[in-house]
Structure 1
């Protein structure tokens, strides 16, 4: 059954296998990941430090390509009986992994069976909620998490005599003033158009993206993001696009250079953009929480995460699982989480690590690094803001982007575009549900 789930849920890649270690040798734990550059260095250090801390287990990290490549490689390896012990999977792959009954070992079960001390309450709820059941049972282990924030070119705002906006109406007015001050091609923009303008927008305002707690409570979820808030927001973007007060920058993050080059003085994208901003921006910058609509009761709520988590694969021995559990305990250490946070720019996953970073004054000179944490912990998550778990999420985002692009191009109204995105998306969700439910 698990093989059918995986085969239906994702494209397959070339299988890479590992031979079994001799019984007398140190038990090897294979960890497949998608991190490059400085973040790859962090992963290597974590594995090296764990291996040096004990003599029974050896974690071997292996880069397997980008997020989709890594997941596909793991799926193919599982089908061939040679899956890694740990696999890093981006957050939009959560439903695919969850549907693969037998192919994964839920983290809460792993830790209990291995006898490792494990309390889900020590982790930041806005992060763990994404990877947990409605009962709070953690299915995967949060690893690198980020959120949407608004990056601001302070020099350009100062020149245009514009205050940093807090609400969406203020953002629209600021963009108009910036355009009048010389930013002819872009008053403001953003990356990851559906993540920012549908997924995060809905959570930040405590309105549903889909039924069943955005899919967290069942694969029979139905999309609901064609409501008044989302339609109003897209209508405004469509209107501002006509004058390039808002200017579309693509479905992914390929347009982020428009901020670091100085072209777009206000830009919404991931907090993980920090490394590039720090290295490339030749101006004073900061990052602030996402704007909100002040007429929406209770807004802002809390943001939801991006990034990835660590999934433990099924079919391994008790000794191997004991080693994996010890490694996850190792990663949860407060000092280690502070190190990961400072070295990578990704968020600490435990409450204690966040508190320690604050106590050490880490955010005093770099307050923008705390912005995503402020968003994620702004309020206790609700069913609308715990996260989302939708099957075929990568393909869904393409469909939603396609419809948004139709509206921005003036080929459909905002309502028509979002209605079509919901209708087409629901068809895809029903197809996924057939493969995911026994």
Structure 2
């Protein structure tokens, strides 16, 4: 089989080192409650692989559809996709299987967990098998947005490929903006102006809503303000730089002034925004499906826009999951996994995935497909995320990333809830982060 014979389809952990030191070997055995998506061919003549993921609901339906399409598109490979529950359960399954030596061929992976897996010998580098007749061409790899590939590479090698990716967007309530006679803000200064207007009017709504875990917004503003934060190449830490401290002081300032608030007991701000409790809200582009029903129920006139700039700089951080192949896979299984990845990232297929799930297309050419352009015309709220793809970036990954992120969340929570001094808190976080990176990398 050569790639040109494939059918083209249109629209229609932090892992603890102690648990992972036992590298696994041998072929994967079938287990669990997964549904099999086979093509009905003689399994003795094909390479069978298992794929673990954490997709549920409509996301499960979409990944099952794509898996079935791949199985039907050729006669050399069969993929069995297995739902492992939510992301936390998926990570636990990988940890347990890493010890028992019963890992699948491939899996969805949180980028921050990849270095820990590499350190413990669980993942295979893909560089030597990506470009092939049944995999990718170099032109196709170059078509993937640079910011997505950043999360897939570690220590100079490619250990994963982007798949279920999202970016941050700003949701806005047009009726509230009209009420105060302002345009959709494009800068944080304009957000402040709106916040002042609403406070002066005695409005109990706020201008901006944040998720309780607002670390991505803080890091985005810090980077927009010129901070390297954590440099992706050198892993040098600048969390307590003046630019970074200024960013956190800004976020705390607009909260203290009543211009913004976090989600609080709601957990996520999609609910409060959908109920009309804020003019603006920054959240994941994949949250469109959560905002839409609440907004419709409350009769909101809403859409999305690109993130506000700080210091005249456009930047957004990518989130989401990648696909990796475990070191226990045979050469034939590795080839099959790369063939499946290549199929998933075909322009029409990554566009289909984006339209069905709210994630974003992975390749530039996917944006230009007729199906996706029609989708954007019919769903204008999806356009902002597409516009951000060219200047989005992934935060750096390193061994110990999960421990670092826990420290970051605790620090930001301490500043928000207990009113700790921003400079002192970030200086402490700087020291802790440097220790984590130096002791693990």
Q: Sort the TM-score into its range (normalised by shorter chain).
A: 0.7 to 0.9
Q: 1:336 aligns to what?
A: 349
Shift in Å, 1:423: 2.0
TM-score normalized with structure 1 length: 0.84
Correspondences of 1:244-283 after superposition (within 5 Å): 244-249=258-263, 254-281=268-295, 282-283=299-300
* Distance across 2 between alignment mates of 1:146 and 1:402: 24
State whether structure 2 residue 432 is matched by structure 1 residue 412.
no
For residues 404 and 267 of structure 2, the distance between their equivalents in structure 1, rounded to whole angstroms, comes to 17
Instruction: State the Cα distance separating 1:33 from its structure 2 match.
Output: 0.5
Q: Tell me the CA shift for residue 431 of structure 1.
A: 4.0
Partner SS, residue 423 of structure 1 = helix
Shift of 1:331: 1.2
Structure 1 residues 258 and 394 mapped into 2: Cα distance closer, same or farther (>3 Å)? farther
TM-score, structure 2 normalization: 0.83
Equivalent of 1:51, from 71, 84, 103?
71
Structure 1 residue aligned with 2:17: 8
Mark the runs of 5 or more structure 1 residues left unpaired by the alignment.
Answer: 434-438
The CA distance in 2 between the partners of 1:204 and 1:104, in whole Å, is 34
**Which residue of 216, 228, 236 corresponds with 1:195?**
216
2:331 to 302, 311, 318: 318
Distance in 2 (CA, whole Å) between partners of 1:272 and 1:176 is: 30
8 Å CA contact retained: 2:53, 2:81: yes
Other-structure match for 2:433:
425
Shift of 1:181: 4.3
CA change 1:162–1:337 in 2 (3 A) is same
Partner of 1:82: 102
Could you give the per-residue CA deviations for residues 136-179 of structure 1, whole angstroms, max 9, x where no partner exists? x5321110111111111111111222221111111122122234
8 Å CA contact retained: 1:152, 1:287: yes
Runs of 4+ in 1 over 6 A off after TM superposition: 9-12
Q: Does 1:292 align with 2:309?
A: yes
Structure 2: segments with no counterpart, 5+ residues: 1-13, 32-41
Q: 1:165 to 1:112 in 2, by over 3 A?
A: closer
Q: Tell me the distance in 2 between the aligned counterparts of 1:73 and 1:105.
A: 18
| Matched residue SS, 1:247 | strand
Q: Contact 1:9/1:96 (CA < 8 Å) preserved in 2?
A: no
Aligned-residue CA RMSD (Å): 2.9
Q: Partners in 2 of 1:420 and 1:10 — Cα distance? A: 29
Residue 86 of structure 2 corresponds to which residue in structure 1?
66
Paired residue for 1:124?
145
Distance in 2, matches of 1:287 and 1:19, equals 43
Deviation at 1:288, TM superposition (A): 1.1
- Cα shift at 1:185: 5.2
